Structure 1
Amino acid sequence: MRFILVIVALFALGMPALAQQAAPAAAPASASDADIDTLIKIIENDQSRAALIERLQQSASAEPAVPAEAPADLSIARQLAEYTRSVAEGASATFAAVGQVFSDLQQGFNGAANGDLNALRDIAIGVLLVGLGLFGSFLVLRLLVVWLQGMIAGRVANRAWYVRLLGAVGAAAIDGGSVVLAWAIGYVLALSVIGGNAGRMGINQSLLLNAFLVVEMSKLVVRAILVPRHTALRLLPVSDSNAAYWSFWLARVISLVGYTFMFVSPVIAANLSLGAASAVQALVMLTAVVIGIIIVLQNKLDVRHWLNELAQKREKDGLGQLFMLVGQFWHLVAIGYLLALLVVWFANPERALPFMIAATIQSLIAIVVGAVIVGFVGRFVGVGLRLPGDIKARLPLLEARLHAFVPRVMQVVRWVVIAGVVAAILQAWSLFDFLGWIGSEQGQQIAGSIVSAALIVLVCVVLYVVVASWVEYRLNTTVGKAPTPREKTLLNLFKNAFTIALVVFGLMLALAQIGVNIAPLLAGAGVIGLAIGFGAQKLVQDIITGIFIQFENVMNEGDVVEAAGKSGVVEKLTIRSVTIRDMTGTVHLIPFSSVDQVSNMVRGYSFYVAEFDVAYDSDIEAVKQVLRDAFVVAMQSEHRDMVIDDLDLQGLVSLTGGAMKVRARIKTMAGKQWGIGRLYSETVKRMLAERDIRSPSQIVTYRTVDRPQILPPLDDEAATQP
């Protein structure tokens, strides 16, 4: 310790001397001996030693002057040169590491040949005894576990899913108990039999027991998921053959890699050489990668067909196209990954391999969690959208409207989950620091903008559903007060106008949140509106006329009107046009610019005007009495509630060339005049016939006229004869 302090002190004291330009080139030997003696005295004294240590600490804490850095060369050529140099250095380091591994393998086998085989034999005997007890007890317990799991499977077969889930959990718990019990038996055997009276065991037996616990617990997870022996306990939609296949190969690979790295390799490294342990590890890793490549090639077509079936079920949408693309090239990606795993392990097994395995596990967890979320949301949305009966009675279209949003919502949820899975995979492989980016100011700003825009869109959708449901409730004739025709017209117009305004303003606000400058859009919309105003004057006229028609309340949906020469029932009113269905069922779409007059036949009240022609020789009073008696008969029918006044008998109203015209009017509710009018006309016609009151008939009189006899012309000879 004293020698080290002396060297450090000399170095510290010599630093100022090195900094001086006029320092002497050399010192005599006697001066050096004197300095050493003085330094020894300083170190032996507690106060001087403390002062020296404090001075050394101050010198060490002083930051050296940093030379000014040259300005960075940001040219493309310099950046390309830096990148290629780093790639070359990395490749050189990788090949050097691989060469060093093979060199270690050769040295390891050479060292194993020269090792203490007697000591290795003694260790092998102890480990063999513990292994026989450990694996023998585990084999017996496995037979008991398989029997118990068979009983559980028989009880939960064809039961509800939650009963099968409880059975699977119970079976896994029994399996895990057998592993722990066998591990405990092995420890007891190692302590009592191998350790003797001292109750101690060797490190090799402990390595074997710990490797057994980790490996068998890992295999337990595989058995609990795939359940190759009992179909009733298997919750995944996997066939028996596939479950047995994957369970077999995964168990073999886990056993091979686990026991090698946790037991065989440490024992060889401790008793033979590190080179031999590295050789065994390299051989096992190569074997595991070869097994993985064989498994990938065996299942290439099966996985491709499965992904193609998923794409066909999704009707080859965006996600379906992705499935088909993955199905074409998944085996190449998997083989490349396995080879990269082997190369990385050769290059840097201490750091690169754990990182790659951890990143792989995190990626698989992200994919599984994403698939579970998408499946759960899809099942919840598809099954859970069932409205109560009273709500369906009040809002019959609400459930259908909500179901219409399900495909769009599911599409958005799927892409959001896919984006999250991709971000998690990039984070796991350190390709993109998503957490660091989201924690930065820029990331928070972008994420906040996206979330704000999504919330605006969500609020707009909710507002649309609320307003549309309220309009539907107000128009529902089975609940509450029946809407008037005016309410029907205005509510439909309000829903259409509100939808257009909501889409426009929602889109503008969402674009503003994601950073789009909407001022040019507003200005462009104004210019486009002005151009449309000049170029589509008819459209502007339609809209202006429609606004005034709505303000004046001339017609509403359900009214019988005549407009632009067409008469019929108003089926639809917009701000630009009216849709009329006439008596023949023909639908007429009439723009308001073509409407110069509207005749509404059902506003307030209506009259049925009945006019009849009778012969001249008919008794007028008898005809009037027929009109009165027919009204009495009509008032005894189901139409009597539609009549709001007595018969307006106007009597003789005109005389024509061959008939007398009599008229009567029946005042009814608006639009109810045709039913009772038809009945009244039929009754009048029957009564006129019964009372021998004739209708006028057209009489045609023919008159004969004497015509002079026309003789043929005489010729000249006949004309000269007397």
Structure 2
Amino acid sequence: MFKALAALLVAFCLIAGPASAQLGIPLGGGGSGGGDTAQSEGEGSADQAQEGGSVEALIQILENDEARAELIEKLRATADQAPAEAQADQTEDAGPAQLAAEYTRSVAAKAAALVTTLSRIGTDLGNAFTDTENVDAMRFGRTVLNLLASMAVVFGSFFVLRLIAGRLIWMFANRAEGKGWVGRIIYLVPTLVIEAITVVVAWCAGYIFSLYFGRVGEMSIYQSLFLNAFAVIEAIKLAIRLLLMPNHVSLRVIPLGDTGSAYWYFWLSRVISLVGYGLLFVVPVAASEISWRFADALKVLVVLTAIVMTILIVLQNKTRVRGFLHRRMDSGKTDALGRFFAFLGNHWHHIAILYLVAFFVVWLVNPLEALPFMLRATLESLIAIVIGVVVTAFVSRTISFGLRLPDDVKERLPLLETRLNAFVPTVLKVVRVIVLIGVLLAIADAWNLVEVFAWLISEDGQGFVGKIISVLIVLAIGGGIYLAVTSWVEYRLNPSYGKMPTAREITLLSLLRNAFTIILSVIVFMLVLSEIGVNIGPLLASVGVLSLAFSFGAQKMVQDVVTGVFIQFENAMNTGDVVTAGGITGVVEKLSIRSVSLRSLDGTLHLVPFSSVDAVSNFMKGFSFHVAEVGVAYRENIPDVKQAMFDAFEKLKETEHGESIIGDLEMHGVTQFADSSIVVRARIKTPPGSQWAVGRAYNEIIKEIFDERGIEIPFPHVTLYMGEDKKGNAPPMRIVNETAKDARQAEETRQVEEKPATAEPSGEAANAGQSSTIRQDAPPDDGGDGGR
């Protein structure tokens, strides 16, 4: 028994100091006499006196049921504190799983303590109302009366002052109508002053009344708690009232209707009053008059009620807020910002409820630090979200509307605006993704999920940020150089400014732009790798070796490049020329370093590698000729044919093609004795590319003149020669009318079927049936004489 009492005494010495300070129990003994005696005995008996006083204080605590219960709770808390501190030291370097387990255990312990506290509320209330031995009824009644009187004075004076201030605010609201934001701001300032004066005057009235009602110059702690709670709550409600202005639309800052502003002010003021008066006034009074366990339970009940009310408000406005957030998407703006608002509208109530539940859990685990932490984290998250939304909205608007250049710039550089609108939106989309990542990291840092800011100010973070900035600078410089070079090439090829570019300049500048783009891309890529810390020395060596191996393995491609270079140096073809290359004739649409793209007459695009080009036939160099080879019948007079061709040429010069003729008709004469015609050739000189149109028009005119003058353009003839004997006589050619022959054979067949023949046909009939025939469309009229 003595050992148990000694152990209890040691524990009391460890914790009774702070416990007795909270409970108001002196550790020095029951009165002043004991203290004077201990001091008079000298320093030698000081320890004994202190030990005796501690024992007496311990006896007093053990005899009092309430004090004994609180001592047991303190001992339990102290017993749990040491392992908790040890575990905290161990979990400083623990992983996420262990931290989550510790946090879950803490939540479970707090919940169990809350259940225990709630189970003891009835006992505490019974003890508070039945234990009247230490209660001064007169003092308690006077305290309650003073408190009620102070509350009546404060609320009454505040009500009267609000009535008077309301008339002034109505006057300001009437004057602010139709004056826009400037007038609204001007009249909001005196409104704020008047509203603040009503709160201050009501608070001062209550403070003065509390000092001079009852005992002069004294104020109970409960009156002070009430007045402080009133000042804080009404100040918060004043700020909300100035923003919403439920009764004065002309002074309202937030764009809400009368119903919406009144609704929100009603519920917000109720929640603020519940939390404010509950935590700042009712809970301290309950802790002082009843018990600290009852006060803790009451505090949890107040916070839980406020959270339930807030959740009900969220659910009531779920559809309304979702419709508001869906307006951008419903109006057809399906950009990233619209999709974000639509997603937020579909799930905002889940996020809000989850936030409220998380707040309650965090507050339950650590009530002293929960509210500041949640407010700070929420404020930082809202700031990050607002900044992200503003930047994303600006980026989305820029992407939607694109860049607009001045008219003179577009006239000089027609493709610059298109190129910028193809390049800048891609960069802006990357910026939008970076902003989104930054907002998420800022939110994670605000809630202590990831220490982003601490990492950024560290050496590693600064190095990483420096590399990112260097990479962005390199990319920006590379993009600027690319735009400058391509814009210069575009300006040089623009026929509206300067001299008209030649076909060779068009080809070489296009090749220069393509080659420069490839070289610049390789250089920028190497610089980016170098900035992010990659050693590009081995990479360059590897690229050299791979290039050598590739050149051996791709000899055909190397041949394409080398041949293409010499073709360009020799100016064999340019963009827009009509050439024959690799056996294909067409218009040159594109020239690269290794191939040429030809568009043939039927519209087919042919890609011809330079290695397959043995010769290039260019129809567009210097000048061209239309070679007219006209075939006439053998019986025609050649001078008449030539004259007809000259007349057709003169007529051609009078048409719209006359401007495309740069010389006289070159008559070459008869060039060929064909099977059924004589070919007469002439040539017309034209600018390059006009020979085909001129030739088609010249052929049409020749046809018209030949028809007018009866000059025959023969079609192919076939002459049948039967031969002749030595005397010059030709054998007769038997011509049979197939129609008559078929009719005769049909008649003979009919007769044979009617009278079957028993004899063989005669030799003449047999020979007639075996004779050869020549078909023709009409019966002969020469008596079977034949013709040569």
- TM norm. shorter chain > 0.5: yes
Residue deviations 1:51-101 (CA, integer Å, cap 9, x gap): xxxxxxxxxxxxxxxxxxxxxx99999989997997699669857986998
1:223 aligned partner = 244
What's the % identity of the aligned pairs? 41
1:614 aligned partner = 632
Spell out the pairing of 1:514-663 with structure 2 (5 A cutoff): 514-526=532-544, 528-530=546-548, 532-616=550-634, 618-656=636-674, 659-663=677-681
- The structure 1 residue matched to 2:195, chosen from 168, 179, 183, is 179
Assess, with a 3 A threshold, how the Cα gap between structure 1 residues 405 and 303 changes in structure 2: closer, same or farther.
farther
2:472 aligned partner = 454
Q: CA deviation at 1:598?
A: 1.5
Residue deviations 1:424-445 (CA, integer Å, cap 9, x gap): 2233334444333222221111
Let me know the Cα RMSD of the aligned residues.
Answer: 5.0
Task: Report the 3-state secondary structure (helix = DSSP H, G, I; strand = E; otherwise coil) of the residue aligned with 2:528.
Answer: helix
Letter in 1 for 2:681: R
CA contact (8 A) 1:105 1:278 kept: no
Q: CA deviation at 1:628?
A: 3.5
Assess, with a 3 A threshold, how the Cα gap between structure 1 residues 510 and 192 changes in structure 2: closer, same or farther.
same
1:119 correspondence with 2:119: no
Larger mean CA deviation between 270-279 and 170-179 belongs to 270-279
Spell out the pairing of 1:664-683 with structure 2 (5 A cutoff): 664-683=682-701
Q: CA deviation at 1:609?
A: 1.6
Letter in 1 for 2:235: V
2:153 aligned partner = 129
Letter in 1 for 2:664: D
CA contact (8 A) 2:184 2:250 kept: no
Letter in 2 for 1:223: L
CA contact (8 A) 1:108 1:277 kept: no
Spell out the pairing of 1:63-78 with structure 2 (5 A cutoff): none
Letter in 1 for 2:515: A
Letter in 2 for 1:121: L
Q: CA deviation at 1:692?
A: 4.5
CA contact (8 A) 1:562 1:600 kept: yes
Residue deviations 1:188-245 (CA, integer Å, cap 9, x gap): 7568988899999995786366325521243136527xx7985997776x89877665
1:686 correspondence with 2:711: no
Letter in 2 for 1:132: G
Larger mean CA deviation between 340-349 and 274-283 belongs to 274-283
Task: Report the 3-state secondary structure (helix = DSSP H, G, I; strand = E; otherwise coil) of the residue aligned with 1:116.
Answer: helix
Assess, with a 3 A threshold, how the Cα gap between structure 1 residues 599 and 207 changes in structure 2: closer, same or farther.
same
Larger mean CA deviation between 245-254 and 673-682 belongs to 245-254
Assess, with a 3 A threshold, how the Cα gap between structure 1 residues 581 and 347 changes in structure 2: closer, same or farther.
closer
Task: Report the 3-state secondary structure (helix = DSSP H, G, I; strand = E; otherwise coil) of the residue aligned with 1:351.
Answer: helix
Task: Report the 3-state secondary structure (helix = DSSP H, G, I; strand = E; otherwise coil) of the residue aligned with 1:183.
Answer: helix
2:417 aligned partner = 399
Residue deviations 1:649-671 (CA, integer Å, cap 9, x gap): 33344444654433322222221
Gaps of 5+ in 2: 1-42, 45-88, 723-729, 735-761, 765-788
Task: Report the 3-state secondary structure (helix = DSSP H, G, I; strand = E; otherwise coil) of the residue aligned with 2:689.
Answer: coil
1:11 aligned partner = none
How many angstroms apart in 2 are the aligned matches of 1:199 and 1:637? 121
Assess, with a 3 A threshold, how the Cα gap between structure 1 residues 708 and 174 changes in structure 2: closer, same or farther.
closer
- The structure 1 residue matched to 2:310, chosen from 276, 280, 292, is 292
Residue deviations 1:239-270 (CA, integer Å, cap 9, x gap): 98776655543343233334545666678889
Q: TM-score, length-normalised on structure 1?
A: 0.71
Q: CA deviation at 1:300?
A: 6.5
1:362 correspondence with 2:380: yes
Assess, with a 3 A threshold, how the Cα gap between structure 1 residues 244 and 635 changes in structure 2: closer, same or farther.
farther
- The structure 2 residue matched to 1:706, chosen from 726, 731, 739, is 731
1:413 aligned partner = 431
How many angstroms apart in 2 are the aligned matches of 1:701 and 1:133? 135
Letter in 2 for 1:207: N
- The structure 2 residue matched to 1:440, chosen from 458, 464, 470, is 458
Q: TM-score, length-normalised on structure 2?
A: 0.66
How many angstroms apart in 2 are the aligned matches of 1:688 and 1:435? 95
Q: CA deviation at 1:559?
A: 0.7
Q: CA deviation at 1:413?
A: 2.3
Q: CA deviation at 1:599?
A: 0.7
Task: Report the 3-state secondary structure (helix = DSSP H, G, I; strand = E; otherwise coil) of the residue aligned with 1:645.
Answer: coil
Assess, with a 3 A threshold, how the Cα gap between structure 1 residues 625 and 422 changes in structure 2: closer, same or farther.
same
- The structure 2 residue matched to 1:377, chosen from 376, 395, 404, is 395
Residue deviations 1:8-50 (CA, integer Å, cap 9, x gap): xxxxxxxxxxxxxxxxxxxxxxxx99xxxxxxxxxxxxxxxxx
Gaps of 5+ in 1: 1-31, 34-72, 157-162, 714-722
Assess, with a 3 A threshold, how the Cα gap between structure 1 residues 180 and 87 changes in structure 2: closer, same or farther.
closer
How many angstroms apart in 2 are the aligned matches of 1:311 and 1:351? 40
How many angstroms apart in 2 are the aligned matches of 1:347 and 1:281? 13
Task: Report the 3-state secondary structure (helix = DSSP H, G, I; strand = E; otherwise coil) of the residue aligned with 2:662.
Answer: coil
How many angstroms apart in 2 are the aligned matches of 1:136 and 1:286? 34
How many angstroms apart in 2 are the aligned matches of 1:80 and 1:509? 39
Task: Report the 3-state secondary structure (helix = DSSP H, G, I; strand = E; otherwise coil) of the residue aligned with 2:656.
Answer: coil
Task: Report the 3-state secondary structure (helix = DSSP H, G, I; strand = E; otherwise coil) of the residue aligned with 1:661.
Answer: strand
Task: Report the 3-state secondary structure (helix = DSSP H, G, I; strand = E; otherwise coil) of the residue aligned with 1:608.
Answer: strand
Assess, with a 3 A threshold, how the Cα gap between structure 1 residues 133 and 266 changes in structure 2: closer, same or farther.
farther
Larger-Rg structure: 2
Letter in 2 for 1:458: A
Task: Report the 3-state secondary structure (helix = DSSP H, G, I; strand = E; otherwise coil) of the residue aligned with 1:567.
Answer: strand
2:232 aligned partner = 211
How many angstroms apart in 2 are the aligned matches of 1:271 and 1:177? 39
Q: CA deviation at 1:561?
A: 0.8
Task: Report the 3-state secondary structure (helix = DSSP H, G, I; strand = E; otherwise coil) of the residue aligned with 1:639.
Answer: helix
Residue deviations 1:295-322 (CA, integer Å, cap 9, x gap): 4555668778988998998979899699
Q: CA deviation at 1:172?
A: 5.5
